[in-house]
Structure 1
Amino acid sequence: MKIAMWSGPRNLSTAMMYAFGNRADFAVWDEPFYAPFLAATGLHHPMREAILSAHETDPHAVAARCSGPVPDGKKHFYMKHMPHHMIASFPLDWAKDCINIHLIRHPARVIASYGAKREEMTLADIGYPQQTALYDRIGGLVIDSADIRADPEKMLKKLCKNIGLDFDPAMLHWPAGPRKDDGIWAAHWYGAVHESTGFAGAEGPLPELAETQEKMLHLAMPHYEKLAAEKL
């Protein structure tokens, strides 16, 4: 089984990768198209040069690995992907052989969390339009991070059942600290999840946003609501 988990940033995506990576039967891959995306677009993200130096920048080479054998002699392969990394020139045929899952989170939470790490932000940076476009193109299942945090065992069991995978309790807890499969960008982005040993509890009220962020929220909400209507 190959799983392509699609989400924007600050969306429980790393915790989900750790959950699947903590299973003995899964290999995982952290945002394999991030370096090709940076190389192709020239965008200046945190740790840009380190990312380009440490990771494969050819999207065709990455796609070949996505469609190739499962690494490390494992039975299954979990790939953490971001829709906004998949620019038009990048191959996507490999995704037809994957179980495609779209992980969503309320935009107000994403905007507040992303803004705390990177002051300059556009709607494209948080990936909502790209995610709905990708869903329209390839389909798949939808799962909301809020539901996972509210009841991780229930939702992971539900997800596993829907994709024909046996649930493994190892998905609920993992060792604190960095993982060998982390992208090099983990040093900037993964501080909170490195301190965790499992999923955080249910989220509280939505955060208050600045005026400029409220405008972005207004643009992002229709994309979130479209996918939320399809969630497990």
Structure 2
Amino acid sequence: MAERRIAMWSGPRNLSTAMMRSFAARGDCACVDEPFYAHYLLQTGLPHPMRDAVIASQPARWQDVLPALTVTPPDRPIQYQKHMVQHMLPGMDLGWTAGLTNVFLIRDPERVAASFSAKRGLPDPAELGFYRQWRMWQDMAAHGPAPVVIDSADIRRDPARALQALCAAIDIPWTPAMLAWPAGAQACDGVWGAVWYDAVNRSTGFAGPEGPPPSLEGPLAALAARLRPSYEAIASHRLRIA
């Protein structure tokens, strides 16, 4: 198999860590976890949990991150890059992404807003990444192949079928190994996993289908309503899982 660098672009609370676990379980894939997080925190000043530890763990300049993302590790034919779209701030040149296989992972805004707020309270819309995700997809589609889009609800509904469709769309072999992984933290996890990865660290595979969407009220409901148009726009391009 030819070397492949896969960039998975999502917002927070989008099944992104479980997907990183899934690709790591393949055995032919090296994973990179949110490599621009330190730069994002330094530029925004946001008081995220473990802020100082995150900043100390990564390069401070986004340009210094790129060498690790543009060369596939010699011992693995696939590199899987887990990215948060909100980390890609104005002024960051995304030309380097043209050499990657870009995939966008999406999730219903009501579920994202409810999950994020349970961890950190009412977020700023920019922290959830919906606007940025849709803009990035449009920009990439205008300058190259339209990136693949996959909805986390489809993955949870039928992981085997959804991952087979995803692997076919990005031209890598499907393997059932992607359906299970060992519990606990993994070597590729960022230091912030101690705060954010508690649920996935208890898991050994994808959770089952999601139940009814949460019932939101007040500012949280208003926030989800503002984000929905961006979600529906990118969702119109998602893989149709047979």
* TM band (smaller chain): over 0.9
Q: Say if 1:63 and 1:92, in contact at 8 Å, map to a contact too.
A: no
What's the secondary structure of 2:173's corresponding residue?
coil
Aligned length: 231
Distance 2:57 2:14 in 1: 24
Q: Could you say which residue in structure 2 is the equivalent of 1:206?
A: 213
Q: Could you say which residue in structure 1 is the equivalent of 2:152?
A: 145
Q: Could you say which residue in structure 2 is the equivalent of 1:60?
A: 63
Q: Could you say which residue in structure 2 is the equivalent of 1:99?
A: 101
Per-residue deviation, 1:120: 3.7
1:128-165 deviation per Cα after TM superposition (whole angstroms, max 9, x unaligned): 00000100111301000000000000000000011111
The letter for the 1-side match of 2:50 is: M
What's the secondary structure of 2:65's corresponding residue?
helix
Per-residue deviation, 1:73: 1.6
Q: Out of 36, 39, 43, which is 2:42 matched to? A: 39
User: Mapping of 1:1-16 within 5 angstroms?
Assistant: 1-16=4-19
Q: Could you say which residue in structure 2 is the equivalent of 1:74?
A: 76
The letter for the 1-side match of 2:214 is: P
Q: Say if 2:122 and 2:220, in contact at 8 Å, map to a contact too.
A: no
Q: Could you say which residue in structure 1 is the equivalent of 2:120?
A: 118
1:66-116 deviation per Cα after TM superposition (whole angstroms, max 9, x unaligned): 11x222621111000011100122231211011110000000000000001
Q: Could you say which residue in structure 1 is the equivalent of 2:51?
A: 48
Query: Are 1:163 and 2:165 an aligned pair?
Result: no
CA-based RMSD of the aligned residues comes to: 1.0
The letter for the 1-side match of 2:205 is: G
What's the secondary structure of 2:213's corresponding residue?
coil
What's the secondary structure of 1:77's corresponding residue?
strand
What's the secondary structure of 1:73's corresponding residue?
coil
Distance 2:166 2:130 in 1: 22
What's the secondary structure of 2:23's corresponding residue?
helix
Q: Could you tell me the TM-score, scaled by structure 1's length? A: 0.97
Distance 1:137 1:99 in 2: 15
Distance 1:205 1:16 in 2: 22
1:171-218 deviation per Cα after TM superposition (whole angstroms, max 9, x unaligned): 000000000000000011000000000000000000011310011011
Runs (4+) of structure 1 moved beyond 6 Å?
none
Distance 2:48 2:69 in 1: 24
Q: Say if 1:30 and 1:79, in contact at 8 Å, map to a contact too.
A: yes
Q: Could you say which residue in structure 2 is the equivalent of 1:129?
A: 131
The letter for the 1-side match of 2:15 is: L
Distance 1:54 1:162 in 2: 34
Distance 1:184 1:171 in 2: 23
Q: Which moved more, 1:84-93 or 1:159-168?
A: 84-93
- Structure 1 gap ranges (5+): none
Q: Out of 166, 180, 187, which is 2:187 matched to? A: 180
Identity %: 45
Distance 1:168 1:72 in 2: 21
Q: Could you tell me the TM-score, scaled by structure 2's length? A: 0.93
Per-residue deviation, 1:64: 2.3
Q: Say if 2:182 and 2:204, in contact at 8 Å, map to a contact too.
A: yes
Q: Could you say which residue in structure 2 is the equivalent of 1:19?
A: 22
